[in-house]
Chains A and B, each alone.
Chain A
Amino acid sequence: MSGVEHATPGMLILLVILIGPVLYYIRRARSNRDMYVRRIAGIDAAEEAIGRSAELGRPVIFSTGLTSVNPILYACLGVLSYVARRSAEFNSRFIVPQFNPEAMAVVEDTVRDAYRDAGKSSAFDPQSIVFLSESQFAFASGYMGIVHREQVATAFLFGYFAAESLILAEAGQQVGAMQVAASVSPEQVPFFICTCDYTLIGEELYAASAYLSREPVQLGSLCAQDTAKLVFFVFIVIGVGIATFNSLQPGMIDLNIIELIRKPWGF
């Protein structure tokens, strides 16, 4: 929807369609915790990956890539918290290289809380949350350096990644680390599939936290997302139907959904 600076009535309706199910499912999940979430192999493997690092006596590394403080970071925090807690329980060294100073503050707090939850507050080393650089490739080279020097056993790559994704994943591959990656940008997914043991694609990153924590809020919003997707799917089917009919008989149905959504307020 490029070129739209303010919401149109159509967009408002879409927002309501999206927010309505969120509220409904969160309420429902709070009253009934048993909601079904399909298996996510990458997340199931997290436990094995952390255990592997404990067995080898080598560190676990968790990178949020180029993520700044935005919803993607918050989606990663649930997994970060889980991995940090389990690493603390297994006495594995946990390293979180950072690209963005703002995100670093949030990440440090989450890891500290995770160590406290594991009853290992004294084992938390603030220096394991290390700021590398705000420059993409300087960050990538810093990450590579850590992976090679520390010979990490397990690498989690969760968040927003760009061209450096393959550099990061290859570094892990070179030291034989078990790698789990999750990216919302489809352009980077093929690189992760090629180099990582498990890859979470697109929205699975957002689902991972719910899958791990079984929190009603997260489970509810996961169901809400699926409902919203279903609604959008219906829109797509209607759009495809109209386009097909109109190509067979031009002007047969005079309805343009995109135009309808973009139509500005009448005043």
Chain B
Amino acid sequence: MESNYRKKLIRLLTFLGGVYFFFEFVLPEAALEGIGLADRHTEISNGFRAFGAMAVGLGIVNLLLVHGSRVLMVRKNWSYSLILLGGLFSMMAVASLDWLQGERLTKTASVYSQLADFSAVIVRDHEEKKEGVLPLKERTSYLTTAAEAALIKLDPHLNTQNVNKEDTLLSRSYIEKISNSRMEAGSYITLLKGLEEFSVEPYDGVKKELSTIRSELQKLLFLKQKNALIKKLYEFLYQGLFVALGSAMFSLLAMYIAAAAYRAFRIKSFESALMMGAAVIVMLGQIPFYAYISSDLPFLRAWLLEVPNSAAFRAIKIGASIAGLVMAFRMWFSIESESFSHEEKA
């Protein structure tokens, strides 16, 4: 009984989800704006995606169950499982630490962009005569105090410590830009402190210079981070192992294509002879010295690819797309679920 209710609930939710996306696609933009759905669509779509994200943990749980139990029970091929789990945990740990380090750097640099934004907000609020905010003088005082403190905090970063030799020149250029902007920002702050009448220029100046400091500082900090142990470990595990192993797998394709082509090109029937003939024309039409064989080869090759080949591709795609649409329709109305289990049919 409980299972029956669960099934009904799933079917209802599937149907409602389908109704939403169907009408979101079918209704014209103007109608969606009229009922206020156009603005909310991104949030709703993100909500649906969040459900999907919950399943990510399932993969890790499965890995732990399958390989963990194999290691604990010392079953066949347990050593592979141990390496896999070791790889999983070390990559998780290193990637998390690297992410944390990156976040810390971004946070250090973001102080300057926050102050730049504050400067812009002060100007905007003053020009719009916004009520319910602190007086201009008080806000400016907060801005100058915070900006001065932030500029002093730049000192420990303005050096080439922990920077790779090959990045020294680059880091020096960042330091120079930061130092120049710091000087400029300092003069604008002095101007702001002595400002009797409101003027946009020093606020804009502070905003511009602090924004420059933010972007250059972030670049400098990331250069320094490149030499950190965690970053090196991450690079080793990701670029050095994971990406390299992926590329090695991909490169296997070249050999496999040759082996598969050898099997496919053995002429056993009329169809395989036809395929062999087409393949020979396409391959010969592709090589640079086709002219020695026949100047018509590139045209033949292009014709084969653009006419019979495209026609077959389109036919497969049209058929598969229609079948996919029909399947989606069956899923929407939960007709499909009747078919998998004998028990459900009864």
Contacts and interface: CB of A to CB of B under 8 A. Distances in A.
Contact of B335 (A26, A140, A170): A26
A149 B259 CA distance: 22
B25 A7 contact: yes
A218 B253 contact: no
A85 to B, nearest CB: 9
Contact of A117 (B59, B318, B329, B343): B343
Interface stretch (B1-9, B27-35, B97-105): B27-35
A229 B319 contact: yes
A264 B316 CA distance: 28
Interface residues of B, number: 61
Please indicate which of the listed interface residues A129, A186, A191 has the most CB atoms of chain B within 10 Å of its own CB: A186
Contacts of A78: 339-340
A228 B317 contact: no
Nearest to A224: B326
Nearest to B64: A131
Interface string B237-267: 0000010011101101100110111011000
Contact of A113 (B56, B242, B257, B340): B340
Contact of B253 (A113, A126, A134, A163): A163
A186 B28 contact: no
A137 interface: yes
Interface string B286-319: 0000000000000000000000000011011111
A46 interface: no
Given A18-B322, A202-B320, A229-B319, A215 B246 contact: no
Contacts of A225: 319, 322-323, 326
Contact of B341 (A101, A117, A209, A228): A117
A114 B320 CA distance: 26
Interface string A52-93: 000000000000000001011011011001000000000000
A223 to B, nearest CB: 10
B256 A22 contact: no
B149 interface: no
A22 B242 CA distance: 46
A221 B326 contact: yes
Interface string A90-101: 000000001001
B330 interface: yes
Given A101-B56, A186-B317, A203-B320, A129 B62 contact: yes
Contacts of A130: 62, 66
A182 to B, nearest CB: 11
Contact of A215 (B55, B69, B339): B339
B260 A170 contact: yes
B335 to A, nearest CB: 5
Contacts of B341: 81, 113-114, 116-117
Contacts of A40: none
A81 B340 contact: yes
Interface of A: 5-7, 12, 15, 18-19, 22, 26, 69, 71-72, 74-75, 77-78, 81, 98, 101-102, 104-105, 110, 113-114, 116-117, 126-127, 129-131, 134-138, 140-141, 145, 149, 163-164, 166-167, 169-170, 184, 186, 189-191, 193-195, 201-203, 205-207, 209, 213, 215, 217-218, 221, 224-225, 228-229, 232, 264-265, 267
Sort A-B residue pairs by CB-CB distance and give the 7 closest, nearest first.
A101-B59, A206-B323, A71-B327, A202-B316, A203-B319, A194-B260, A137-B249
Interface of B: 25-30, 32, 52, 55-59, 62-63, 65-66, 69, 77, 80, 242, 245-247, 249-250, 252-253, 256-257, 259-261, 263-264, 312-313, 315-320, 322-331, 335-336, 338-343
22 contacts: A7-B25, A19-B329, A69-B52, A72-B327, A74-B336, A75-B324, A101-B55, A101-B57, A101-B59, A105-B58, A130-B62, A131-B59, A131-B63, A135-B246, A137-B245, A164-B249, A166-B253, A167-B252, A202-B316, A205-B323, A225-B326, A228-B326
